[in-house]
C-alpha cells in the first residue's frame, strides 16, 4: 500500500511537470514522460530490496550502474549549460554540443536514465520489473528519436552530420566517433 501511495504521489508530480508535453505526441517530452514513469515504477517495485544482500553481484552491478548514471547526468547537464548556451530550460540549447560524452553519443542524459532504470531493475529483477524495463527502453528510444527530429529542424545539416558521427546511447569500441580527433 505504501508503494502504491508513493507511486501515485510521485506520478502526480511527473504529470504536473510534463503536462504541456503530454498534449503533443510528436514532442520528445511526451515519450520522456513514459520513460520517467517506467523508472519510477522500477524504483517503487524494487524499493524493499534496495539494500538487501549488499554484496550480491547484482547489487554491486546495480550500484555501479546507478553511480555511472549520476556521473553521466551531471556531466551531460554541465556541458549543456556551459557549451550549449541554453535559452531558458537547459534542453533548449542554442549551440550543438559535440564535446565530452556528446562526442561519442548523442543522448548522454537519456543514457543516464537508461542506466538508472537498469540499476533499479537489478535491485529486484522479476518478470514484472523486466517488462517495465522494456517499456522504459522503448520510451527512451522514442524520446531520442523525437528529439532528433527536433534537433534536425533546429540545427539542420550540422546535426545530420553529427548523427552520422555518433551513436544514440552507447559508444562501442571501433564505433564511428571512437578515436577520431575533432
How do residues 113-142 score in pLDDT, each as one tens digit? Answer: 999 999 999 999 999 999 999 999 999 999
Secondary structure (3-state) at 161: helix
Alpha-carbon distance of 16 to 52, in angstroms, equals 33
> Hey, which bits of the chain come out as E strands?
none
Look at residue 181 and tell me if it is in a domain.
Answer: no
- What is this structure's pTM? 0.89
Q: Looking at residue 140, what is its pLDDT? A: 97
Alpha-carbon distance of 70 to 68, in angstroms, equals 5
Instruction: Please count the structural domains in the chain.
Output: 1
Look at residue 175 and tell me if it is in a domain.
Answer: no
Q: Is the dihedral of CA 115, 136, 33, 167 positive or negative?
A: positive
Q: Looking at residue 25, what is its pLDDT? A: 84
* Inter-residue contact 112 to 90 (CB < 8 Å): no
DSSP 8-state secondary structure symbol assigned to residue 19: T
Provide the domain limits for residue 133: 2-51+59-165
Distances in Å between the Cα of 105 and the Cα atoms of 40, 149, 150, 164 are 25, 16, 17, 11
Look at residue 170 and tell me if it is in a domain.
Answer: no
Look at residue 94 and tell me if it is in a domain.
Answer: yes
Look at residue 174 and tell me if it is in a domain.
Answer: no
Q: What is the pLDDT of residues 56-110, one digit of tens each?
A: 999 999 999 999 999 999 999 999 999 999 888 888 899 999 999 999 999 999 9
Amino acid at each position: 500500500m505504501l508503494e502504491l501511495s508513493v507511486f501515485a504521489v510521485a506520478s502526480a508530480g511527473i504529470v504536473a511537470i510534463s503536462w504541456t508535453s503530454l498534449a503533443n505526441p510528436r514532442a520528445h517530452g511526451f515519450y520522456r514522460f513514459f520513460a520517467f514513469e517506467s523508472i519510477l515504477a522500477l524504483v517503487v517495485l524494487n524499493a524493499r530490496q534496495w539494500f538487501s544482500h549488499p554484496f550480491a553481484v547484482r547489487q554491486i552491478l546495480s550500484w555501479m550502474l546507478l553511480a555511472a548514471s549520476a556521473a553521466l547526468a551531471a556531466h551531460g547537464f554541465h556541458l549543456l549549460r556551459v557549451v550549449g548556451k541554453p535559452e531558458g530550460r537547459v534542453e533548449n540549447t542554442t549551440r550543438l554540443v559535440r564535446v565530452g560524452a556528446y562526442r561519442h553519443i548523442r543522448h548522454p542524459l537519456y543514457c543516464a536514465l537508461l542506466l538508472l532504470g537498469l540499476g533499479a531493475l537489478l535491485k529486484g529483477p522479476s518478470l514484472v520489473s523486466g517488462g517495465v524495463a522494456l517499456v522504459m527502453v522503448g520510451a527512451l528510444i522514442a524520446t531520442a528519436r523525437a528529439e532528433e527530429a527536433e534537433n534536425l529542424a533546429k540545427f539542420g545539416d550540422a546535426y545530420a552530420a553529427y548523427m552520422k558521427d555518433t551513436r544514440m546511447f552507447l559508444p562501442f569500441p571501433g564505433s564511428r566517433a571512437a578515436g577520431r580527433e575533432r
